[in-house]
Structure 1
Amino acid sequence: MMPPAAPRAIWLLVRLRLLRLLNLGGSVYGRKPKAGKSRAATGGKRRGRWILPVVMALLMTVAFINMSRSILLNLHCELAPVTACADQAKSFEAQAVAATELAGAHFSAELMRGLTLHVTLLWLVSLLVPLGSRELAHTDWDLEWLVTLPLPRTTLLWARVLERTVTNATGMLMLWPACIVIAWYAGLRWWAVPAATLAALTLLAPSAMARTLVDTGLRLSMPPSQLRNLQAAISVAAMPLIYLTISLSLPGRGIALGWAAAFPAWTLWTPPGLVVQWLDGTPWSAALLAAEVLALLVAGVALLGRQLGQGVVASSTREAGRRQTAAAPPRVLPGTPLQRRELRLLARDRNFLVQSLLIPIIVIGSQLFFTGGLRDMTQLGSEPKLLASIAFGLGSYVLVLSAFQTINTEGQALWMLYTFPHTLERMLREKATLWAVLALAYPVAVYVAGIATGARVDGHLLLTMAQVALGIPIFALIAVALGVWACDPLAQEVHTRVRPTYIYLYMMLASLYGYGLYTDAWPHRLAVVVLLAALALALWQKARDELPFLLDPTAAPPRQVAAADGMMAAVAFFAVQAIAFFALHDGAGPPALSDMTMAFAIAGAITYALARLVYWRAGTAGVPRLSQGGTLPALGWGIACALPAIAAGLAWMQGLRQAGVAVPVIADGHIGWLIALASIAAPLFEEFIFRGLIFNGLRRSLRLLPALAASAAVFAVIHPPLAMLPVFVLGVCTGLAFERSKGLLAAIVTHALYNGAMLAVQL
């Protein structure tokens, strides 16, 4: 049989890589294979994980497009010789003026140079991020078996460059949105999408060639130990470039705009500059761009041929590259035996050490330096919010690079943890505690520096310090719990052992906690802390259910009601309620009580129906019932638990009246709607979510008092600030009624009697 021609061979190798990535994606996110003649594979765990990746991919694409738009408009305002942007006081108004000025006009020479810098930085990121991946330090190298194919070496090299061009997801995510925005404002409008795709792929081709040249030369000349150190250095170098690019979107701040203004004109003749010129409508630039890229690829393939002239296996690539020295006596380290083991492993793995403890400093420092967020150290002492955000940002970033990897770092040796004389849950708690302590060192250092530079130690500073100190263990628990779901230590491919969408979810939750540090409203601060602490408990419960089945690719934990179900149901309830209200409200005048009641009832009914449908289809155990053990006992428990709640509510109202605080009641002349909302709809649907799902789920993992306190706290923070304390007592009483009667009826009665009593007193 004759070997295929060069074009077909290249196509087959690229297709093989794409199918391999598609199969890996299917194994990661639970994609079912198509039916065929081959035998059925062993069924895997059924997890609907495709929703989160799709949502996160869309959100990231929108975010990058928005950032690229801000960069282009800001560059125009800052660099264009003639512009009216300076007359606008606010940045969004200046961007609106810039968009109007760019409509139907070619880019100025100054803007072209600034955009060339922007695209060049993105191109460098598209090169360094894949080059700094774990694949560089991986012992196995697929080129070693590819050269055994009956194909010329040149054909294999062209296939390698092409496959790395079309599979560079990081590069496409960086370059494609930027090219879309440039083409859109250059006047291409909806033709911007195909033009940007072609432009991004054109730039990714020399990036793939440079990556192949570098990693091939490194593998043939350096041992694995040095490759791991170099990979850590490359990953560190890529971070400042990302924040340097982001700083271009900030008007009048950072040093990147100065670089953009001084960027030399000859860079317009490089591939990034030619891409900008081509998208701006310069026709001859496309031919010159194609010629440059082709020349670079041909020269690169020729150089690769020289690199591989002596074969693909160097004498040093399989060696440790270190001299054997006498073992030093082990140091006495603090903590439990498992925590001491983690510290020793961290000290030996330089790559993990750099990524866990050094990269957070590089990331936060680059963000502050290039964006101008921190002009000098004295600013730390004058801005407590900046101090808190830096402190928590460093700590949370340490956790995402360390605690999040707790399961992943065990690798194929995960099974050994099951042989230890402790439960896996306890060992993960010990690891989470260790990483929380290490991560807390960064906020402590930041606050020490802030106080040394003049920060005034007052109640506000102490409050933010406590909030940061509380957030680190909360996010250590969240990171370890999400890591159980996000990591697959049994995966053969290193880059598939972590599902990146869960990292993005973690970062979104961390940004929500950051909002709680920046807001001045204490109810919002309290709500953020309580909700994320409850979410940490809920995620930990789900992770604990999963732990006994980590080593089995086919088994999954039995379906049970979990606290995470209640958190998701609460989010769905408020989202549907907002949609229903906007659909019912005509937008004229204040909101009507009837619209609020109908929206509440519609959202509650839809949430209840969906939850019961999901539980029925999944065969979930522990679904809350209305009554269990008789109606009369349930009514008795409901009335008995309502009395202390009503007493606490009346005492609180009396205290407010003594303090001169008025508690408004929005009746709007429709007492019936208010009674229906407070005494019928609210008890029915809120008790199903907060007692039937959240408290009932927490009860599987916690004792009675902690479960009562946690569920009541979540219930309280969703109410107005003046009502938080009595509502917390109500949450404890309704939870106790549910616990004693084992049904929702008692909790509903307690809730309805409390609301009715409070409403009667107020009216």
Structure 2
Amino acid sequence: MTPPSGAHAVWLLVRLRLLRLWNLSGSVYARKPKPGRSRAATGRKGRGRWILPIVMALLMTAAFTSMSRSILLNLHCELAPVTACGAQTAAYDAQDVAVNELIQERFSPELMRGLTMHVALLWLASLLVPLGSRELAHTDWDLEWLVTLPVPRATLLWARVLERTVTNATGMLMLWPTCLVIGWYGGLRWWAIAPATLATLALLAASSMLRTLADTGLRLSLPPSQLRNLQAAVSVAAMPLIYLTISLSVPGQGIALGWAEAFPAWTLWTPPGLVIQCLDGGAPWLALLLAAQVVLILYAGIALLQRQLADGVVATGTREAGRRTGVAGTLRILPGTPLQRRELRLLARDRNFLVQSLLIPVIVIASQMFFTGALRDMAQLGSDPKLLASVAFGLGSYVLVLSALQTVNTEGQALWMLYTFPHTLARMLREKAALWAALALAYPAVVFAVGIASGASVDSRLLALMAQVAIGMPVFALIAVALGVWACDPLAPEPHARVRPTFVYLYMMLASLYGYGLYTDAWARRLAVVVLMAALAVALWQKARDELPFLLDPTAAPPSRVSAADGMLAAVAFFALQAVAFFALHDAAGPPALPDMALAFAIAGAVVYALVRLVYWRTGANGVPVLLHGGMAGTLGWGAACALPAIAIGLVWMAGLRHAGVAIPAVAIDGRVAWLVALASVAAPLFEEFIFRGLIFNGLRRSLRLLPALGASAAVFAVIHPPLSMLPVFVLGVCAGCAYERGKGLLAPIVTHALYNGAMIAVQL
């Protein structure tokens, strides 16, 4: 057999790496197995997994594009010698002025230097983030088996640099939107796509070459223990660079803007500076100069790599065992279960994991607040309770994303051993979640202590924020462990490929929503955020527990069953569609019209009901709620009986509000009582009971006892209603849940809900 040519060998190796990464990523589209290859009682893995990665990838690209635009416009307003941005009081007005000025003229020299620093920081982050990954300290080095192929060593090195160029997802995500935005405002408009892509690949090629030089030299000269320490140091150094770049989007003379203003002019002739000049409509010879510099870096790097590997790719001492630590005896006296003490022992031994999980969150939050100017001194923590609570929760939640979410991943290939223990895997994961929640709580405790020492007043407002943060830690520990069941692939052969970043982004979005609850002044919104996040944690944990017995099965997934997570997703879709439908129907000023409200409610409810039933029908789900179970008379009787206490509490509450002089928001009835009755006594009971009792309560009953399930589903049902009606609606949710429990069908809670709403309407009219 004739060995392949150099170019063909490079293509084969790069294609192999791309296919391998595609398979490790979970396969955006899972092929349907051939008949007889999977168990009939279970579904296939990967069902619907292509939706979330695509959505999150689009969201992240949009977010980086928006941030790049804000950075460019802010640099223009702050650095350009003559600009009208400063005369605008609002940020969006200043950006509009900057857009008009950039359209009419080319970039100023000051803006060019600032953008060069911006791109250089992103380029350096694209080098350090992959270099600080677990691949550096991994005991197996793929170059050791690649050199056994019948291919020249130079060809292998070119293939390695090329595949690292095209698979650097972090660098592509940061650099491509930035280059695209620069090219757009540089006058290229839609023609900027091709030049931005070529410029990004040129920068990533240089980054990949330097990364290959660094990790090759380090592997050949340092033992594994020092490599792990160095990897931890590199991962720590990469975080401030990213937040230094983000701070360029904040108006005002901050630290980063001062550095951008003083950035030297000679950097315009480096690859990042040449990229800026080319995308700003520079002369064609600038692109040739950029290509010449990148080619020179690549060929010089290949020559150095050849020299590094002249004596082979296996260095002496790379397989020696790590040094023993003296923490085992100390950890025996710590409280907790044996499993939790084992986690602490492993955490103390793994310095890289220790730094990433416990130190990097402090560096990330501190860098973000320092470079953006959100925190100038410690006294500001004492004067702003919301900022104090936000910093406390941010630190704790970031610790959890680097620790609790990695719970399954840290077990790796040894996860099968946990199945042999005399406890369920769910119980052991709960113990780990409790451990990480306790460790994460230490950070908010320290932050609040520093804030109080800095002058924060210990009043009811601060105590409420402290309680909200304290509740959030165990809630998000459970969310992180649950998401980690889907985010981590224990069957992946490489540790760095076992985590799906989609679920990390999802966790961060949920944490941002909880952070919004810390900043809002409305107590009802705070309560709603806490209740919804707690209910979501229970729902996700139930869904993850169904997945646990199938983690080590490469093909099969758990059978489809109704779960509380389905109900939470249906509730979100229901209210989102209702808002969209009402916005399309209602175009007049004043109070909302009843026909529009009723029609939007019916449209959203019908769409959600049809979609949920379609999904359950296609997947053959078990436990789908039915309308009637048993006799009609008994069902109606239970529905009416459960409505009586709810109506009584509602009437007492309404009388109390009137006695206290509380004004009840009015709805434009205009004599259309029929629409009001149709909305409150027909549409609302029909669709809301399907979601909140048929899906959420019915799903919770698989995991919880009756009273906790009643309370959780009723709390979720209450917080999505106006604050004045939360208490009676909570009672209605409990009564409707009792009706569903007794009637075993949706008709009984529908009757309860309809009678309650009808009684409230009759009293108000």
TM-score (norm 1): 0.97
- The 4+ residue runs of structure 1 with deviation greater than 3 A are 27-30, 38-44, 321-331, 586-591
Is the partner of 2:119 in helix, strand or coil? helix
Distance 1:709 1:323 in 2: 50
Task: Please name the residue that 1:197 is paired with.
Answer: 197
Partner residue, 1:533: 534
Distance 1:300 1:647, change over 3 A: same
Instruction: State the match for 1:736 in structure 2.
Output: 738
The separation in 1 between residues aligned to 2:334 and 2:444, in whole angstroms, is 23
For 2:749 and 2:717, locate their aligned partners in 1 and report how far apart those are by CA, in whole Å: 13
Determine the structure 2 residue equivalent to 1:76.
76
| Residues 601-626 of structure 1: CA deviation (Å, up to 9, x unaligned) | 11111111111111112111111111
Matched residue, 1:641:
642
Output the CA distance in 2 between the equivalents of 1:614 and 1:41. 21
Shift of 1:449: 0.1
Q: One-letter code of the match for 2:31?
A: K
Q: For the Cα contact (< 8 Å) 1:166–1:201, is it kept in 2?
A: yes
Query: 1:742, CA displacement in angstroms?
Result: 0.8
Q: Where does residue 672 of structure 1 map in the other structure?
A: 674
CA distances 1:579-616 after superposition (whole Å, capped 9, x unpaired): 22223223565532101101101111111111111111
Tell me the equivalent position of 1:123. Answer: 123
Structure 2 CA distance for aligned equivalents of residues 746 and 424 of structure 1: 37
Change (3 A) 1:46 1:81: closer
Counterpart position of 1:102: 102
Contact 2:113 2:264 in 1 (8 A): yes
- In the other structure, the counterpart of 1:159 is 159
Deviations 1:369-413 (A, max 9, x none): 111110000000000010000000000001111111111111122
1:40, distance to aligned residue in structure 2 (A) = 7.3
For residue 20 of structure 1, what is the aligned residue in structure 2?
20
Q: Distance in 2 between matches of 1:84 and 1:631?
A: 74
CA distance in 1, matches of 2:186, 2:489: 45
Aligned equivalent of 2:688, options 683, 686, 689:
686
By how many angstroms is 1:34 displaced?
10
Q: 1:326 to 1:293 in 2, by over 3 A?
A: closer
Task: Please name the residue that 1:543 is paired with.
Answer: 544
Deviations 1:425-444 (A, max 9, x none): 21111111111111000000
Letter in 1 for 2:429: L
Q: Distance in 2 between matches of 1:44 and 1:133?
A: 31
Output the CA distance in 2 between the equivalents of 1:458 and 1:330.
Answer: 38
The aligned residue for residue 4 of structure 1 is 4
- In structure 2, the partner of 1:183 is 183
Query: 7-16 vs 628-637, which deviates more?
Result: 7-16
Structure 2: how far apart are the matches of 1:399 and 1:681? Answer: 41
CA deviation string 1:469-510 (max 9, x = no partner): 001111011011111111111221222211110010000000
1:681-714, CA deviations, whole angstroms, 9 ceiling, x for partnerless residues?
Answer: 0011101100111001001111111101100000
Q: Which residue of 1 aligns with 2:392?
A: 391
Deviation at 1:31, TM superposition (A): 2.5
Contact kept, 8 Å, 2:38 with 2:556, in 1: the verdict is no
Q: Indicate which of 736, 758, 761 corresponds to 2:760.
A: 758
Structure 2: distance between partners of 1:45 and 1:205: 36
Q: Shift in Å at residue 33 of structure 1?
A: 7.5
**Amino acid corresponding to residue 461 of structure 1 in structure 2:** L
Query: Corresponding residue for 1:461?
Result: 462
* Residue number in structure 2 paired with 1:309: 310
Match of 1:425 in 2: 426
Query: Secondary structure of the residue that 2:556 maps to in structure 1?
Result: coil
Counterpart CA distance in 1 for 2:70 and 2:379 is: 30
Using the alignment, how far apart are the partners of 2:546 and 2:328 within structure 1?
Answer: 41
1:614 is aligned to 615
Identify the residue that residue 443 of structure 2 maps to in structure 1: 442
Q: CA offset at residue 552 of structure 1?
A: 2.0
Instruction: List aligned pairs for 1:311-330, cutoff 5 A.
Output: 311-320=312-321, 322=323
* Equivalent residue number for residue 226 of structure 1: 226
Name the amino acid aligned to 1:673: W
The residue identity in structure 2 corresponding to 1:224 is P
Matching residue of 1:700: 702
Stretch moving more, 670-679 or 572-581: 572-581
Aligned partners of 2:409 and 2:495 also within 8 Å = no
SS at match of 2:316: coil
Cα 1:709–1:39, aligned 2, differ >3 Å: closer, same or farther? closer
**Paired residue for 1:571?**
572
**Contact persistence 2:129–2:235 (CA under 8 A):** yes
Please report how far the alpha carbon of residue 10 of structure 1 lies from its aligned counterpart in structure 2 after TM superposition.
1.7
Q: In the superposition, relative to structure 1, how do residues 324 and 157 fare at CA in structure 2: closer, same or farther (>3 Å)?
A: same
Contact 2:38 2:555 in 1 (8 A): no
Q: 1:711 to 1:327 in 2, by over 3 A?
A: closer
Q: Secondary structure at the match of 1:32?
A: coil
Spell out, residue by residue over 1:535-564, the C-alpha distance to the aligned partner (whole angstroms, 9 max, x if none).
Answer: 001001111111222222233222211001
Quickly say closer, same or farther: Cα 1:71–1:325, change in 2 above 3 A.
Answer: closer
Distance 2:237 2:207 in 1: 16
The letter of the residue matching 1:468 is V
Q: CA deviation at 1:44?
A: 5.0
Distance (whole Å) between structure 2 residues aligned to residue 704 and residue 519 of structure 1: 33
Change beyond 3 A, Cα 1:294–1:664: closer
CA change 1:212–1:407 in 2 (3 A) is same
What are the superposed Cα offsets for residues 27-49 of structure 1, whole Å, 9 maximum, x if unpaired?
A: 354522799xx997999524211
Between 1:493-502 and 1:686-695, the stretch displaced more is 493-502
Gaps of 5+ in 1: none
Q: Cα deviation per residue 1:716-742 (whole Å; 9 max; x = unaligned)?
A: 011111000000000000001111111
Residue 664 of structure 1, CA deviation: 3.5
Task: Answer whether contact 1:221 1:316 (CA < 8 A) is retained.
Answer: no
The offset of 1:61, in angstroms, is: 0.3
Distance in 1, matches of 2:562 and 2:195, equals 50
CA distance in 1, matches of 2:301, 2:661: 80
Please say if 1:32 is aligned against 2:31: yes
Distance 1:341 1:326, change over 3 A: closer
1:594 corresponds in structure 2 to: 595
Number of the residue aligned with 1:721: 723
Equivalent runs, 1:470-489 vs 2, <5 Å: 470-489=471-490
Distance 1:4 1:652, change over 3 A: same
CA displacement 1:259-310 (0-9 Å, x = unmatched): 0000000100100000000111111211111111111111111111100010
Q: 1:178 to 1:650 in 2, by over 3 A?
A: same
Q: 1:550 to 1:467 in 2, by over 3 A?
A: same
Q: Do 1:223 and 1:320's aligned partners in 2 also have CA atoms closer than 8 Å?
A: no
Q: CA contact under 8 A between 2:24 and 2:492: conserved in structure 1?
A: no
For 1:16, the aligned partner's letter is: L
Give 1:328 shift. 5.9
Cα distance, 1:104 vs. partner?
A: 3.3
Q: What is the deviation of 1:321?
A: 5.8
